[in-house]
Amino acid sequence: MLIRKNYVVDVGDRRHTAEVARDGARVELRIDGGEPAPAVSLPVLGGRAVSVTVGGRRRLVHLTAADAKGGLRATLNGWPVTLSVMDELRAQALEAQGPAAGSGNLTADIPGLVIDIRVAAGQAVQRGEPLIVVEAMKMQNELTAGVTGTVERIAVAVGQSVNPGDILVVITPANSDQSV
């Protein structure tokens, strides 16, 4: 049975669309509406990297870390990149938020317990910089700044329980084009 899934992939500051079609063990990948190409991925280097072959072109991908927003720090053929992979629905929802997505409010995505706060009010932060660690379901989730700016206030304390949508940190953006 053929199963198709659509994704939006941000590589650095470039956005791509990817359609993955799977029929049993056969996988095809269509990037940015191009022609479908056979795709194969194999773990290599003891599982620390993935060799991805699409349409006969092989790439080596090392995924080095993930944040709670879905961003990955990675190397692609030895070059550092930031990746964000999301399904089509999540991408549309983020686009619909418009300017609010870059407002500087860091909110909890899931219920959990604040176990570490890595910034202070008045501190300058860069987009992607770790701000808070929330433990949920025995996993630690490092939450990062969505904008470059200055921490206006920290709305939680270590040991505090949080729920989805709770504001954790408020950042005054350095300028309006730094949003997620």
Residues 74-97: tens digit of each pLDDT: 777 777 777 777 676 666 665 665
| Strand ranges of the sheet holding 112-117, from the earlier edge strand across to the other edge | 139-144, 130-136, 112-117, 161-162
Inter-residue contact 144 to 68 (CB < 8 Å): yes
Beta-bridge mates of residue 11:
14, 83
What pLDDT does 179 receive? 42
Which residue shows structure tokens 């992607």? 128
Q: Which residue ranges form the domains of the chain, and what is each CATH number?
A: 2-90 (3.30.700.30), 103-178 (2.40.50.100)
What is the DSSP track for 140-166? Answer: EEEEE-SSSEEEEEE---TT-EE-TT-
Instruction: Sort 96 into a burial class: Cβ within 10 Å, 0-12 / 13-18 / 19+.
Output: exposed
Residues 1-43: tens digit of each pLDDT: 788 888 888 777 788 888 888 888 888 988 898 898 998 888 8
Q: Which amino acid is at 138?
A: K
Residues 149-180: tens digit of each pLDDT: 999 999 999 999 998 888 899 999 886 544 44
**Max Cα separation, the chain?**
55
